């Protein structure tokens, strides 16, 4: 994952302005600065002590590398391609000696870019990956008065990667990732 910024005449252009407002003309030089960040998910090794019998006993897990300052609810374990659920026993996942378990750190929030209907600006909206898309509607309605963009009065829906979005589903379900653009379209989706 990376963060990026544009630089023109040794300054970052104002996000609210268009090309003309920034005095960018033909043959102007614009720098793109990319800062690489470590990926949000990492694979670490877990040492699992299996009980000698096949009884349903809890097991001990020793983390080889520390996940300091990471709240437990942000940690997701995948064993053999399946997410490990809190209320299940490790024996349900058919782990054996020297099995590999993937550990992912879920992001708290990420920013999506929203292209309002008939607008020439993109609106940055911060959402949780697990939020339902309906949250986006509420956030846009809060931002509309201050940013002065139009939302169709007769109704609207969201499009991500050329597909209509079900507002009862999460951003994860729709495959939305950090920095993705979501477009506002006039009308409604019928099911």
Across 37-41, 88-92, 161-165, 177-181, least confident range: 37-41
Look over the chain and give the mean of its residue pLDDT values, rounded to a whole number: 75
**Could you tell me the residue ranges of all domains in the chain?**
2-36, 41-105, 110-186
Is 150's pLDDT higher than 70?
Answer: yes
Q: State mean pLDDT over 164-186.
A: 91
Tens-place pLDDT, residues 87-112 = 777 677 777 766 777 777 766 788 89
pLDDT (0 to 100) of residue 40:
52
What is the pLDDT confidence band of residue 56, given thresholds at 50, 70 and 90?
Answer: very low
Q: Please indicate whether residue 26 or residue 151 has the higher confidence score (pLDDT).
A: 151
Nearest residue to 87 (alpha-carbon basis) of 45, 62, 58: 58
Q: State mean pLDDT over 9-27.
A: 75
Residue 36's alpha-carbon distances to 3, 33, 40, 126, 162, in angstroms, are 6, 10, 12, 20, 28
pTM over 0.85? The answer is no
Structure tokens at 118: 């008939």
Nearest residue to 111 (alpha-carbon basis) of 129, 135, 90: 129
Q: Please indicate whether residue 103 or residue 1 has the higher confidence score (pLDDT).
A: 103
> What CATH number belongs to 110-186?
3.10.20.90
Q: State mean pLDDT over 122-150.
A: 89
């Amino acid at each position: 994952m990376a963060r990026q910024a544009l630089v023109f005449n040794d300054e970052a252009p104002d996000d609210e302005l268009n090309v003309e407002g920034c005095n960018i003309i033909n043959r102007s030089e614009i720098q793109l600065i990319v800062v690489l960040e470590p990926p949000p998910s990492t694979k670490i090794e877990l040492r699992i002590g299996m009980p000698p019998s096949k009884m349903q006993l809890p097991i001990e897990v020793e983390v080889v590398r520390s996940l300091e300052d990471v709240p437990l609810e942000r940690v997701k374990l995948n064993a053999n391609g399946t997410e490990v659920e809190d209320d299940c026993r490790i024996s349900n996942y058919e782990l054996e000696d020297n099995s590999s378990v993937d550990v992912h750190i879920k992001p708290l929030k990420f920013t999506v870019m929203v292209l309002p209907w008939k607008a020439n600006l993109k609106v940055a909206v911060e959402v949780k990956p697990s939020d339902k898309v309906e949250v986006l509607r509420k956030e846009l309605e809060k931002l509309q008065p201050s940013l002065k963009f139009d939302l169709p009065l007769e109704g609207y829906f969201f499009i991500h990667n050329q597909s209509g979005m079900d507002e009862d589903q999460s951003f994860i379900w729709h495959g939305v990732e950090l920095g993705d653009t979501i477009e506002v379209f006039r009308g409604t989706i019928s099911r």
